[in-house]
Amino acid sequence: MQSRGNISSLLIRLKFSAMMALDGIGSNLLRTFLTVLGISIGVAAVVSLMGIGEGARKSIVSQFESLGENVIVIKSNAENITFDAKEAEEIPSRVTGIQYTTPVVYTQDTPIRWRRDESKMNIVGVNEQYPQIKDHKVLSGNFFTSLHVKQRSPVAVLGYNVANNLLNGRSPVGQTLKIDGINYRIVGVLAEKGKDKGDGIDDKIVIPYTSALKIANTKDILEIWAKSNSSEDAELAMIQLGRIYQRKVGIGSNIRPGNGQEEEGMEPDMPMEEPMPEEPSPEVPGEKENVFEKGEEPLTITSLNNLVKEADQANRIMTVLLGGIAAVSLLVGGIGIMNIMLVAVTERTGEIGVRRALGAKKEDLLIQFLLEAVYVSIIGCVVGIILGAWAVTIVSKYGLSAIVSFDSIRIAVFVALTSGLLFGVYPAINASNLPPVEALKRQ
């Protein structure tokens, strides 16, 4: 029974302290408003800036992901290094984990004629394995086949925007258009990737690479796309491809098998390249630079998975930095709470003295002034979240990628409530330690 009485007494004291705290913040609305404003601005800054950073991160990552998962790009950046179609076809049999490959041929500003309309457009030449490599579905019709590639058939698959503009949204499959003066039959339409995604494939035309070589008037292939089964296979394939093209490029590489044994995952019948003779370098004597790792000329082997990871990491760092900068305003808001509470304690010494004289304990006053700080912080958090979400909406309307991130709200609320509580402790302790007689004298 005595324990029940103690609990009931405690609850009554807590309720009374909470009511006194509400009365305290309502007694001077202007002061409370200015304090809430400081917290609200800090919370809004964190939510909006981290929202902009998170939106930019997701936008950039989605752009890289739209290029295909587990895709490896082998690209020549020198005129004396070229590939041929047979070389690309042999990669899956020579490199473990590579499932699909395609030569890639680009043509820029190729003349296009659709009925009476003429324009210039970028063309991409690939083989029949493009949809599997780029994870790109065909929306209408079909993709061209290996027979089309071998016979250099004049067939074309249109990007989404190109197809949409021809017949105002109706499928153009079965129609013909002229590319570089030759009639090409439209056999399919690719699904939409989205603005700035898939390397702008929505605004391009895809044809067999054999036909693209004819348009470009060349026999040289400068780029190969390869698709691995998993991210782990892609990492291993990068090493194996580096070994294969080490001799082709004619330079040394730091990518070597261990102890002269066959590299893990390497086909047993695959010829092992002999180490290239080391030549002293002016910058680092006795050591050759690894062009495969650094992405330097004349040939690069790039894993798109790594690009996604690097972009994600870089943008996460940017988001954290933006959040850290905005959190400074929350710190300022917390200091504002402490200053206002100190002023409140000074102004309300008479109230404190009367409460102490009527039997209020130190803990009651401590709780009361702490609750006042917490109330102000909570109100500031709610207003700040609303302002931050509104700011993110405004930014999104002007074309920037921005989202309301749950992490930003959680961080802002945590920092705001923590700072309000911490900066409210000192004034609360001052109020609770004020002797009743001295408080009544100051009244």
Q: pLDDT tens-digit profile of 165-217?
A: 888 778 899 999 999 999 999 999 999 888 878 788 999 999 999 999 999 88
- At 177 the pLDDT is 93
pLDDT attached to residue 190? 93
The more confidently predicted of residues 17 and 197 is 197
Rg (CA), the chain: 34
Average pLDDT of the chain, as a whole number: 77
> How many CB atoms are closer than 10 A to CB 274?
8
On the question of pLDDT at 320 being above 90, the answer is no
Domain ranges of the chain: 12-61+310-442, 71-306
- pLDDT: which is higher, 50 or 3: 50
Measured CA to CA, the distance from residue 77 to residue 18 in angstroms comes to 72
Least confident span in 32-36, 116-120, 289-293: 289-293
Q: Could you give the percent of the chain with pLDDT greater than 70? A: 78
How far is CA 437 from its chain centroid? 62
Nearest to 155 by CA among 179, 119, 131, 138: 179
DSSP 3-state percent helix, strand, coil across the chain (nearest 5):
55, 15, 30
Q: What is the dihedral of CA 115, 120, 122, 127, to 10 degrees?
A: 40
Query: In terms of pLDDT, which residue wins out, 123 or 65?
Result: 123
Cα torsion 278, 84, 304, 258 to 10°: value is -30
For 74-126, what is the HEC assignment? Answer: EEECCCCCCECHHHHHHHHHHCCCEEEEEEEEEEEEEEEEECCEEEEEEEEEE
The pLDDT, as a whole number, for residue 302 is 83
Quote the pLDDT of residue 275: 40
Banded model confidence at residue 291, pLDDT cuts 50, 70, 90: very low
pLDDT top residue among 153 and 416: 153
Greater pLDDT, 432 or 190: 190
pLDDT of residue 283: 40
Whether residue 314 has pLDDT greater than 70: yes
pLDDT at residue number 3:
61
Query: In terms of pLDDT, which residue wins out, 340 or 413?
Result: 413
Q: What is the pLDDT of residues 221-280, one digit of tens each?
A: 999 999 988 878 888 888 888 888 877 666 444 333 333 333 333 343 444 333 433 443
- Specify the pLDDT at position 279: 40
Inform me whether the pLDDT recorded for 311 exceeds 90.
Answer: no
